[in-house]
A and B are shown apart, each in its own frame.
Chain A
């Protein structure tokens, strides 16, 4: 095997599982170290550079980072990455003077951003400081998009959202509220240099079952209903409520119902728990509020009397699963009517662009999803870009942010007449973390503490007001413990083969036996077979060194199981192993100016 090319920035980036999994590639271990040092403001700014809304995401992110966390290889629960992000946001000082400023004069380029959600705000955040005149158009009376209309205030307080949107508006971004765009054709004629569409996936799916029409007053589409509640157009619901669907929107619907006077809320799932779309933690939070989740109930009909909904009929399902947990067969084994006063449908949402004319030059596929380039975010019409849920269908906030960053680069290039594909590649900068004998500038000792539990407001208290935030945030003691659970995966084990004496000290001291010195082989599998210990369940690369100077054997390392404790580097007599902090440079629009200067 040839030696591993560690100069490729992706090699070490992939080792930082959380950062690699994050769509916006937030440098998680770096900000957790800053929190450990008490530098909450800097931790906030490091977060903000990648994900723009740390206060929001620290509460309601989908957390793709946490299932990826390396900690789960040695214990059950990952580091509470998301909640530590909230810690940085909650404890930051006033950081306004450290944010990008509104430029003294603009560059004369006008950008129209449609929809005041996370995607549009990210584009504005990246472009306004560069001199672009950004205008955000929003049909509702308040900004935030789904962060405001679909996420209930007991999970995301309004002031947290407004603070972070305010930072961006302060950069000289114009926000036109109550200003729906009803014609793309008309907008395109207004002379904008570029148009960005960030209108989300605003159409909730309906359920066309018998009785739907007759009982329409008591059947609600989940995302529309949440929006009505958020904008105070709805403030009550019946005592017995059924929620159809078991995704994250369903969890918000059931918990919101409880705060509007529902006494008995049931979430109806068609399949077993393993198939639920909702995040595990959102399910837990709902169940904590005594929401009952019933599995294997497939909706069949709405029951009504005198034009009023009285219940719903479900088919009771039975499934056959194979050993991988996939459904191989299903059958109906019975039927059951469950009485209720209201039904909320939370079975998905889709894109809708009734305001984009067929002749606008923007093509759609058969599911009404626009044809958008995955890298540049440009539609089939030059100068029109899509991001967030409107681009590729419903995803989540952190993806919307990343789309915004990428679209901003494209718009910047578009306005300068550069090819959209001229984008700076990622870079990595490695700097030794060594400070002296067995001293590192990170806390390398393995801390066996388990994940801290987030404290919640007491049940009786939380139902009194609809906007009482349920999660209390971590206490100082919890913060101090949780930060030490992070394994600092961005402090990399870097090997310099010519220095190796083959004394085996690193191999022997490694607590997870991830190092092996062995004769080189033809294939990766042969080398993996030679590993002292390996973890075939997780997909990480195998590190293969250059030939060692004394015997010509190679050092191999299973990146799956390394805990970055630095003991190999501490025991190495020749510093062939060193611990180096890797800073991955992910470029945003502001960095792209180097392209013209070069």
Chain B
């Protein structure tokens, strides 16, 4: 908790983005999460990513379900569109909103409880339909709002603050996403700001369903010795496979790396995601290889991070369904509502 609102202070040499806005212009209400919560760090990374991409802070869509993570939509870009929706139902809400307006950068924020239990079906179908959104899964292994019960992402044998170790097998959001057809799959950690910001920027620019599974420790209920989602545990077993940098169409690719390490992936807007591979033999465009590598890391207790899989060949839901490209609110009323005669004619076709 905090006693007062973070003041907006203009400094002498404050850096500004292409729109002339400062990073503070992308912030929102003061967080009411516990001090030290990983989610606040993820929020700060999103602020930074939107700021660096110079996305107008009122021209975005942010939606969430229920839970600690889902509260965070209040804590950034207050002027943009969005809603706190029903528990686990954020993906359908996003699908509907995007059908009406495919122009807004869309970010869905959810947690391991919201996504992997009550909302697992919703998330799976948004993935297989390749809805054009960035899905942030803030993963801390517990239900923080209800005082720390294990969620479906808790690892086998992980110790709770009080009571017995977890006995159920965890759902790995990355492995799950690989199996149902998401086209941009990444994992990161709230404590790795640099990597997380790069991934968020790349994910926002990816046309299709992008998911970032962010290990985001719960300081109140899952940050103790024996927990596998604590800050200490994550820092200890952290490993990076592939860096992903978003390169805007106006920028040049600078390849100052050894052969085989760098791999540019061109995006629909003319920009690139430049992949820098820590592990030269790893190919993040090969779904089978990615799956094997994720499984191997899981078995080795290694927290594998970076952009683990990308497929830009799949059309997104809008294209597949041949939906109107223009946002509905920009279509003239007469075109949107052609009148009773046209309706009669249409209905006649079905008689």
Chain A residues with a Cβ under 8 A of chain B: 73-74, 437-440, 444-446, 448, 501-505, 507-509, 511-513, 533-537, 550-551, 561, 563, 565, 567, 570-574
Q: Are B12 and A535 in contact (CB under 8 A)?
A: yes
Q: Are A438 and B14 in contact (CB under 8 A)?
A: no
* A-contact 0/1 string along B19-36, CB 8 Å cutoff: 000011000000000111
Q: Are A511 and B9 in contact (CB under 8 A)?
A: yes
* A-contact 0/1 string along B253-284, CB 8 Å cutoff: 00000000000000000000000000000000
6 further A-B contacts with Cβ under 8 Å, apart from A501-B232, A505-B40, are: A437-B1, A504-B193, A505-B37, A508-B43, A511-B7, A511-B8
**A509 contact set on B, CB distance < 8 A:** 2, 6, 40
For the complex, give the distance between the alpha carbons of A572 and B23 in Å. Answer: 22
For the complex, give the distance between the alpha carbons of A518 and B235 in Å. Answer: 15
Q: Are B219 and A448 in contact (CB under 8 A)?
A: no
Q: Are B3 and A535 in contact (CB under 8 A)?
A: no
Q: Which of A439, A503, A537 contacts B3 (CB 8 A)?
A: A439
Q: Are B9 and A533 in contact (CB under 8 A)?
A: no
Q: Are B11 and A446 in contact (CB under 8 A)?
A: no
Q: Which of A73, A448, A567, A573 contacts B34 (CB 8 A)?
A: A573
**A567 contact set on B, CB distance < 8 A:** 2, 6
Q: Which of A440, A444, A561, A573 contacts B219 (CB 8 A)?
A: A573
Q: Are A571 and B4 in contact (CB under 8 A)?
A: no
Task: Tell yes or no: B44 within 8 A of A by CB.
Answer: yes
**B232 contact set on A, CB distance < 8 A:** 501, 550
Known: A437-B1, A567-B6, A571-B2. A501 touches B11 (CB 8 A): no
Q: Could you tell me the dominant secondary structure of chain A's interface residues?
A: loop
**B24 contact set on A, CB distance < 8 A:** 511
Task: Tell yes or no: B223 within 8 A of A by CB.
Answer: yes
**A–B Cβ pairs within 8 angstroms, 23 of them:** A73-B12, A74-B10, A437-B1, A446-B7, A501-B219, A501-B223, A503-B38, A505-B40, A509-B2, A509-B6, A513-B23, A533-B13, A533-B15, A534-B13, A535-B11, A536-B13, A550-B235, A561-B11, A563-B9, A567-B2, A567-B6, A571-B2, A571-B35
Q: Are A570 and B35 in contact (CB under 8 A)?
A: yes
Q: Could you tell me the dominant secondary structure of chain B's interface residues?
A: loop
For the complex, give the distance between the alpha carbons of A448 and B10 in Å. Answer: 11
Q: Are A505 and B4 in contact (CB under 8 A)?
A: no
Q: Which of B3, B37, B190 contacts A570 (CB 8 A)?
A: B3
Q: Are A571 and B36 in contact (CB under 8 A)?
A: yes
CB distance from B143 to the nearest CB of A (A): 19
Q: Are B11 and A533 in contact (CB under 8 A)?
A: yes
CB distance from A63 to the nearest CB of B (A): 22
For the complex, give the distance between the alpha carbons of A565 and B30 in Å. Answer: 15
For the complex, give the distance between the alpha carbons of A215 and B34 in Å. Answer: 80
For the complex, give the distance between the alpha carbons of A160 and B162 in Å. Answer: 68
**B54 contact set on A, CB distance < 8 A:** none
CB distance from B144 to the nearest CB of A (A): 13
* A-contact 0/1 string along B218-244, CB 8 Å cutoff: 010001000000011001100000000
Closest A-B pairs by Cβ, 4 of them: A573-B36, A508-B44, A438-B3, A446-B7
Q: Are B36 and A501 in contact (CB under 8 A)?
A: yes
**B40 contact set on A, CB distance < 8 A:** 504-505, 508-509, 571
**A550 contact set on B, CB distance < 8 A:** 231-232, 235-236
CB distance from B291 to the nearest CB of A (A): 30
Task: Tell yes or no: B82 within 8 A of A by CB.
Answer: no
Task: Tell yes or no: B41 within 8 A of A by CB.
Answer: yes
For the complex, give the distance between the alpha carbons of A445 and B235 in Å. Answer: 34
Task: Tell yes or no: B67 within 8 A of A by CB.
Answer: no
Q: Are A74 and B9 in contact (CB under 8 A)?
A: yes
**A501 contact set on B, CB distance < 8 A:** 36, 219, 223, 231-232
| A439, A448, A508, A533 interface centre (most CB from chain B within 10 Å) | A508
Q: Which of A438, A508, A513 contacts B2 (CB 8 A)?
A: A438
CB distance from B40 to the nearest CB of A (A): 6
**A445 contact set on B, CB distance < 8 A:** 3-4, 7
